[in-house]
Structure 1
Amino acid sequence: MSVIESVAEACKELKLSRNIVDNMQKIQEEDRYKFLLQLFQLEIQHRADNRRQRNIKSAGFYNMKSFSDYVYDDLELPSGLSISDIESAEFVRRKENLILYGNSGTGKSHLATAIGIKACMEDMRVGFYRTAGLVNKLLEARQQGALDKLFRKLSKLDLIICDEWGYVPLDMVGGQLLFQVISECYETKSLIITTNLEFSKWVNIFYNQEMTAAMIDRLVHLAPARGW
């Protein structure tokens, strides 16, 4: 057995990446300590890249979008929030919310997706949902007795994106479950909501004035921006 094959076997036994074998043949360094350091650094980078790709895959984005082709001309930002804050996803680390409000076709979903992908690349865990789809998941989990499991999954996320908020009216139970999601996110993670409905019309989605007011209060308390 060659040295390369022996290293491959050792990596398998130690549950290390086969990438180590590939990289050790690429490194041009005679000093054994520097060689080992470079090997470790390449493996760390490899694992980080894989983790980012897993984050993106598990997030559930419907399309891949970036900031490079996004036009900010019609986006109105409040004082204290900059385009840099948005593109760095720094507000997600601060556990702040972002409410993107505007007419259909103004790029709300594009921007939300681009932020979500950036968060994934920054080693944050993201869930992207069409709001009606998330409510359906909640209702199905409730029916199957798996609601706690779904809430535990959601609790592990750093950012939840609710796209197309208010496009489909919810029944009372669905609204209550969505309210529970929002409540459990309060000050523990970030939310991004895209909607074409102003706050005054949200009661038409949830049918309960008190619950709607409480939900808006939780959202806007840590929401730095509304656009368009």
Structure 2
Amino acid sequence: MPDAGDLVTARLAVDPADVTTGATLVVTRPDGVVVTPVVTGADGGSTWTAPVIYTVAGIWRLSWTVTGTGASVEHELVSVGPAPATMADVRSYATTTQLANALHKAPPLDAVELLERATRLLDSDFLKAAVYDVDDDGMPTDAVVQAAFADAVCSQVEFWGEVGVETDVSGPLQGVVIGSVQLQYGAGANRSGPDYYAPGLTRALASIPGDKLRWIAYSGGC
């Protein structure tokens, strides 16, 4: 599957074909914009190619029209993924280098996505009850807090690598105590234990000194 930004060569084979065969290509982008790349014929009209740049992610339609011998109309749908994210594209408390060092091996190819997801989990399920110094982007400024948050998200990614990544956290955290605060979320039949969270995540948060991060009383849903 191509990614956004990829330049590919679209190809069409025509049989039968001869010198009367011609072909054109109409490309419809996911946003409805239509482009007509330059088509080149070869092999006596039996092979046609055209350069296509997939500028955005989504479903693209390639429509070939053949005239003369072998006349036909052919449509092809191409699913284009987004360009792989870099650390500059996401909000994350750790880099892929920090993750590699924590794992003691090369990180997975989807490490950027996993670190971003682990950071969102940390923000939504744990840090609602935390007060600490941040910059204009809401990122921690204290080196001790930065290191602990990095350890936390790396632990979560490592945990996902062992047990699998949930498509969603079906239930919120129950019964974890960090410092003097007990974080208890959810209620009734929808309760879940802390099985969705890496043990190292809560240990990393609990290691932060009280003068670096202050916990306030909080109880409620995510």
Q: If the TM-score is normalised by the length of the shorter chain, which range does it land in?
A: under 0.3
Q: Determine which structure has the larger strand proportion and give its number.
A: 2
What TM-score does the superposition give when structure 2 sets the normalisation length?
A: 0.28
Q: With a CA cutoff of 8 Å and minimum separation of 6, indicate the structure with the bigger relative contact order.
A: 1
What TM-score does the superposition give when structure 1 sets the normalisation length?
A: 0.27
Bigger Rg, structure 1 or 2: 2
